[in-house]
Amino acid sequence: MSDHDILSDAEREALSAIMLEPDLPPQRVLIVDDDKDARELLSEILGLDGIRCMTAASGETALKMLDEKPSIGLVITDLRMGHVDGLELIRQVRESVRAAMPIIIVSGDADVGDAIAAMHLSVVDFLLKPIDTGKLLALVKHELGMEP
């Protein structure tokens, strides 16, 4: 300890310990697809890499979860679903307090118009099924700030 230090080393350590930021909840991925098998498969693929997932069977459920669960840091959605489809889900997210939410579309049934509409809604990417899991994992990790 130098003559200019006001705090002892022990006091400095104690102060550092209480000044550390609290651990943030792990960011989760919300997978939205009306196909149960597709939801579970994506969840399993991401889970194997330590990425925590939640799932929703509809756009309506997804919107409710986004309102209630601040730990969701990324949405992966299918396009073709019931009343609130993937594009409508994205539009509603973009008009909400979660407007900056990164969103990835995964679809087995899409056309150029869908892709253009999605890009206008600032999605991270538009992946066609069957998905390149390596690319999906890299995108998810990048968006969540994890090491690739």
Q: For residue 33, what are the contacts with CB-CB under 8 A and spacing of at least 6?
A: 39, 42, 55, 57, 77, 78, 81, 106
Q: For residue 92, what are the contacts with CB-CB under 8 A and spacing of at least 6?
A: 59, 63, 84
Q: What is the model's pLDDT at position 22?
A: 52
The more confidently predicted of residues 8 and 50 is: 50
Q: What is the model's pLDDT at position 9?
A: 82
Strand ranges for 67-119 from DSSP E? 72-77, 103-107
Contact 87, 117 (CB under 8 A): yes
Residue 142 structure tokens: 């990048």
Q: What is the model's pLDDT at position 23?
A: 53
pLDDT digits (tens, 9 = 90+) for 77-115: 999 888 889 999 999 999 999 999 999 999 887 788 888
Question: What topology is assigned to 24-143 in CATH?
Answer: Rossmann fold (3.40.50)
Give me the residue spans of the domains in the chain. 24-143
Q: How far apart are CA 51 and CA 112, in angstroms?
A: 30
